[in-house]
Structure 1
Amino acid sequence: MTAMTKPRSRLGGRAARRSSRSAPKFDMLPGLTRALPTCEVMDPDQIARIDAASMDILENVGVVFRDEIALADWRRAGAKVVGERVHLDRGLVRDLIATIPADFTYHARDPEKNVRLGGPHSIFVPMTGAPYLRDLDDVRRNPTLADLAMFHKLSHMMPALHSSAHHIVEPYDHPISQRHLRITYSSMKHSDKTFMGMTTSPKNGEDVMEMCAILFGEAFMDEHPVTTGNCNGNSPLVWDETMLGAMRAFCRRNQPVLCSPFVLGGANTPASVPATVAQLNAEALSALAYTQVIRRGCPAIYGHYLSTVSMKSGAPMAGTPEISLMNFMIGQMARFYGVPWRTSNTLGGAKTFDAQAGYESATTLSAVIHAGANYIWHSAGWNEAGMHCSVAKFVVDAEQCAMAHRMASGPQWGDFEQALAAIPDVGPGGHYLGHPHTQENFQTAFFMPDLFDNNPIGQWVADGSKEITERALAYARRMLDAYEEPRLDEGVNEALLDYIARREREIPAADALNQDF
């Protein structure tokens, strides 16, 4: 039995109850099944306009596929190929994306942590790719493999996070050319939730697939999604050899990829929300269609990264109204095509975990929940436009996702009659604090955040006047002290380490530690 499922003994007394309420709770929440209506900002005619504009882009402008294998694949599929530019007939596109599953289940190392994706089913996934971290002392510095392991442990323990992702932070103390092996192993070793696989090159993608086959079995993988790749487009309208090769590595093994145009609104898209969505939609559809050229019926996810660009500095911005509007629109387009979709969550552009970071993150979180997103990535830690992952923000973001999980699940009616029966018992002018129904349900009826301080100011001062960053870092330390590793099978662990050792002998590492990325 793992730390996630270990039963807790009941202790009596007020102090024990207070201690129980303040102790970290590690049981993973089930995947979110949304019960809230989605925010629909476009009417059917406007959806049709976006679809028609995107299909016109695909047919008449075309999309560049800088990859000889992909160009040959498209020729065989019946597309018009002129040099590197592929012109996709709308009928061909619709035929191909119709074979993408509308929903599927991710299979985790612990089957109790399997999660469904698509339709009303959503999951929260931590951020990835930060070249810096703000550590347990809130110091901004370069990360190491130990820091990556720390974030994977926190991902394992935070209830609302359904994945350990992959390179939450970049481990600078390991050669770039070999990093993907250690990153994948850390994801597998320190958590038994689903995880992401590196797509930094076609061969790196193949390595991830081989390691997944060791962990889950080749035959099981061929029938069950166990990991997720991400393939970023080069907006406007370009897919390159690196991403397409990695996409083939995943799709051939029936593993889903996020087909993600990288939007910097106003810089690599038109300075218009609807026109940006039309271009992004065309880019995403071209990649989604290609996944089905690689392997019909393999799962794939409509992806994107959304940011708008400050015309003052050229820097990407987070939490702007246009990003929310685009999320609403993209959600409608993904549902129009019947495919799952990915978005980014709790994004902050602030340099510290301050009010700006909180406002930006809360705005984004609210929008993606009401947009009906499925794969909700970058859900914990993202700040400074993704340049660092903050430990403090990581745990607070994760708790915010737990709150969003509660809200998006909708009102719970299971004890409605019993609660109503308390009203005549209490009567006019009374209170419910001592009523048996309240005593039985007070810990679950209303969400009580662990990381927000709602005490009177006198109590807050007596407790040291601690602000959110200090409280969050103390909480993270307590969690890490309580961490119990969900141990890998010894034979599987040895096979993974043997594979890593062999590949590290084969992959040149000279000067890699001195490279930028």
Structure 2
Amino acid sequence: MGFQDANRAGTPTLNRLDAEDVATIHEASLRLLEESGIQFDHPRARRLFENHGASVSGENIVRIPPGIVEEAIEDAPDSFQLHGRNADNTVGIGESNRPIRAPGYGSPYVQFGAGSRRRARLSDYEDLVVLAHESDAITCMGYSICEPTDVDESTRHYEMLERLLKGTDKPILGPVSGSHRARTCMDMVGIAVEDPGLTKPYVAGLFNTAPPRSMGREMLEGLFTYAEHGQPLIVSSFVTAGTSGPPAVTPLVVQANAENLAAIALTQLVNRGTPVVYGLPGSTVDTTHGSLAIGNPEASVFASVAAQMGRYYELPSRGGGGLTDAKQLDYQSGFESAFTQLVTGLSGVDFVLHGAGILASYSTISPEKFLLDCESIRYLDRFDQSIVVEDAHLTPEQLTAADSAGHFLAEETPAGARPLFEPELVDKRSYREWDQSGRESIGESVSGRVTEILAESEPPRMAADTRRDLDRYVDRHK
């Protein structure tokens, strides 16, 4: 099979594995699938595999021959477009070296500034949708930017989808867990984009396996629904080193890779050509406290490996973004998040989840950290831009515009040259200016910016008929 590990567009990427290592992981994963198998907690999944030559044994274990996996990988596209309600916001996933970035996902708590955290509310969700929509660093909206716990779980997806679809015209993620939520998502997205047949990819679903080597019924039902409608799935093993996976990186990657390959194969058995994204968001357990750890170096290693495995399979890849275990805006939250953002970007990951806002190991989202993570992304994007070296910028007139005793402060940037980066949030004033203006912390200043954005933002246009149809659908089904 003609797998490869080529860098897109010739841009160098940060590889932690050599070609032989990648092939070894692939072969070990295929052996694990064929000899030990995966538990599928859904009869339809088991039938699909069995009808294509896999064997099914007790406790719903499916042993998958390599041919099924390799054919499925060939059928999945190497890139795809995820369409926004506004066509200008459509993004290509796997098409360029700049990753598509989505916000934090699934946090049940919200924290404001230096205050204590509390349970997330629907009003918090609305505010986070605004921040994500207004940010140029976020090119794909999440779905569960926070999990509003003041709304009954049975109707929460209606409330969230309604606010998401009205609050943005960027591409979105949607709920996957359970056929009802997934089908509701298909219906509501179809109304919002005025394409009830979903003839294009408009909404991507986050499919998590249930390690070790298992897939749950509700997630599988969502997978079926998304694949049947041709909507992309971001497939990720939800493995944690030391609990649901081996405590060492290499065997952990083999297990996670096997789970991913099995899920990718299933999407193609349901509907050949369904777009998929290969994800490896692996976390670890802190050996001192026994707590989940996502801001450690291994998280960045997993992102780098995900990018390499994605290139090997010629599939788009997913990695983590602003990940931290810090409980508040502090040095730890900054360096852990920036390090992960940097490694993910340099590794060639195509889709970044948890790109902004995360605190406390996924459990908390902070509006202030959201904006600071977006600033960090802008730093990274500026670093990632090429350096323009042109003779027109190196003329004697430009190089000697100031003599040895002078300065260039009055000089304009030459035509065609990229100007110096200007940050939007971080403090670049002199110490004296900062001291005389009240010694405001970065958290305090960014908190003010959050308030400004929420006050000034207006929702994107939605046709009156479309808004009415969406309202009627929610009223009828909720």
Amino acid aligned to 2:439: S
Quick check: 1:474 aligned with 2:451?
A: no
CA, structure 1 residues 412+494, in 2 after alignment: closer, same or farther (shift >3 Å)?
Answer: farther
Quick check: 1:89 aligned with 2:65?
A: yes
Contact 1:132 1:141 in 2 (8 A): yes
Q: Choose which of 12, 15, 33 in structure 2 pairs with 1:58.
A: 33
Aligned position for 1:111: 87
Contact 2:345 2:380 in 1 (8 A): yes
* Structure 2 Cα separation of the partners of residues 180 and 411 of structure 1: 45
- For residues 326-360 of structure 1, what are the alpha-carbon distances to aligned partners after superposition, in whole Å with 9 as ceiling and x for unaligned? 22222111100000111111111111111111111
Aligned position for 2:278: 302
Contact 1:36 1:410 in 2 (8 A): no
Aligned position for 2:186: 209
TM-score, normalised with respect to structure 2: 0.94
Deviation at 1:54, TM superposition (A): 0.6
- For residues 142-192 of structure 1, what are the alpha-carbon distances to aligned partners after superposition, in whole Å with 9 as ceiling and x for unaligned? 222111110001111111111221121111221111101111111111111
Quick check: 1:45 aligned with 2:20?
A: yes
* Structure 1 Cα separation of the partners of residues 114 and 276 of structure 2: 39
SS at match of 1:189: helix
* Structure 1 Cα separation of the partners of residues 22 and 86 of structure 2: 40
Quick check: 1:400 aligned with 2:381?
A: no
Quick check: 1:74 aligned with 2:68?
A: no
Quick check: 1:342 aligned with 2:318?
A: yes
Contact 1:34 1:410 in 2 (8 A): no
Deviation at 1:119, TM superposition (A): 4.7
CA, structure 1 residues 467+416, in 2 after alignment: closer, same or farther (shift >3 Å)?
Answer: farther
Deviates more, 1:421-430 or 1:186-195: 421-430
Contact 1:422 1:437 in 2 (8 A): no
Aligned position for 1:292: 268
Contact 1:34 1:408 in 2 (8 A): no
Amino acid aligned to 2:162: Y
Quick check: 1:102 aligned with 2:102?
A: no
1:191-270 equivalences under 5 Å are 191-218=168-195, 221-222=198-199, 224-270=200-246
Specify every segment of 5 or more residues in structure 2 that has no aligned partner in the other structure, as ranges. Answer: 1-7
CA, structure 1 residues 410+81, in 2 after alignment: closer, same or farther (shift >3 Å)?
Answer: farther
SS at match of 1:258: strand
* Structure 1 Cα separation of the partners of residues 431 and 416 of structure 2: 27
TM-score, normalised with respect to structure 1: 0.87
Deviation at 1:492, TM superposition (A): 0.8
Deviates more, 1:211-220 or 1:58-67: 211-220
* Structure 2 Cα separation of the partners of residues 100 and 209 of structure 1: 21
Aligned position for 1:458: 432
Quick check: 1:500 aligned with 2:477?
A: no
- For residues 399-451 of structure 1, what are the alpha-carbon distances to aligned partners after superposition, in whole Å with 9 as ceiling and x for unaligned? 111222222233245x662355511333544322112336x789x62222122
* Structure 1 Cα separation of the partners of residues 114 and 337 of structure 2: 22
* Structure 2 Cα separation of the partners of residues 406 and 302 of structure 1: 26
* Structure 2 Cα separation of the partners of residues 471 and 412 of structure 1: 34
Aligned position for 1:166: 143
SS at match of 1:386: coil
CA, structure 1 residues 351+464, in 2 after alignment: closer, same or farther (shift >3 Å)?
Answer: same
* Structure 2 Cα separation of the partners of residues 482 and 457 of structure 1: 31
Quick check: 1:488 aligned with 2:462?
A: yes
SS at match of 1:301: strand
CA, structure 1 residues 311+123, in 2 after alignment: closer, same or farther (shift >3 Å)?
Answer: same
Deviates more, 1:129-138 or 1:89-98: 129-138
- For residues 295-346 of structure 1, what are the alpha-carbon distances to aligned partners after superposition, in whole Å with 9 as ceiling and x for unaligned? 0011111123221111112111133222222222221111000001111111
Contact 1:163 1:195 in 2 (8 A): yes
Count of residue pairs brought into register by the alignment: 468
Moved over 4 A (4+): 33-36
* Structure 2 Cα separation of the partners of residues 219 and 75 of structure 1: 33
SS at match of 2:282: strand
Amino acid aligned to 2:154: S
* Structure 1 Cα separation of the partners of residues 294 and 68 of structure 2: 36
* Structure 2 Cα separation of the partners of residues 433 and 416 of structure 1: 22
CA, structure 1 residues 269+135, in 2 after alignment: closer, same or farther (shift >3 Å)?
Answer: same
Specify every segment of 5 or more residues in structure 1 that has no aligned partner in the other structure, as ranges. Answer: 1-32, 505-517
Contact 2:113 2:329 in 1 (8 A): no
Aligned position for 1:27: none
Contact 1:269 1:276 in 2 (8 A): yes
Quick check: 1:141 aligned with 2:141?
A: no
Identity of aligned residues (%): 28
CA, structure 1 residues 220+203, in 2 after alignment: closer, same or farther (shift >3 Å)?
Answer: closer
Deviation at 1:62, TM superposition (A): 0.5
* Structure 2 Cα separation of the partners of residues 79 and 445 of structure 1: 58
Deviation at 1:493, TM superposition (A): 0.8
* Structure 2 Cα separation of the partners of residues 280 and 139 of structure 1: 35
What is the RMSD of the two structures over their aligned residues, measured on CA atoms? 1.9
Amino acid aligned to 2:430: P
Aligned position for 2:4: none
Quick check: 1:360 aligned with 2:336?
A: yes
Aligned position for 1:131: 108
* Structure 2 Cα separation of the partners of residues 215 and 297 of structure 1: 24
CA, structure 1 residues 333+119, in 2 after alignment: closer, same or farther (shift >3 Å)?
Answer: farther
* Structure 1 Cα separation of the partners of residues 355 and 9 of structure 2: 17
Aligned position for 1:179: 156
* Structure 2 Cα separation of the partners of residues 210 and 136 of structure 1: 37
Quick check: 1:276 aligned with 2:258?
A: no
Deviation at 1:217, TM superposition (A): 3.8
1:436-447 equivalences under 5 Å are 436-437=412-413, 445-447=419-421
- For residues 223-260 of structure 1, what are the alpha-carbon distances to aligned partners after superposition, in whole Å with 9 as ceiling and x for unaligned? x1111101111111101110010011111111001111
* Structure 1 Cα separation of the partners of residues 115 and 460 of structure 2: 28
Contact 2:137 2:377 in 1 (8 A): yes
Aligned position for 1:150: 127
1:367-446 equivalences under 5 Å are 367-412=343-388, 417-418=392-393, 420=395, 422-437=398-413, 445-446=419-420
Aligned position for 2:289: 313
CA, structure 1 residues 361+315, in 2 after alignment: closer, same or farther (shift >3 Å)?
Answer: same
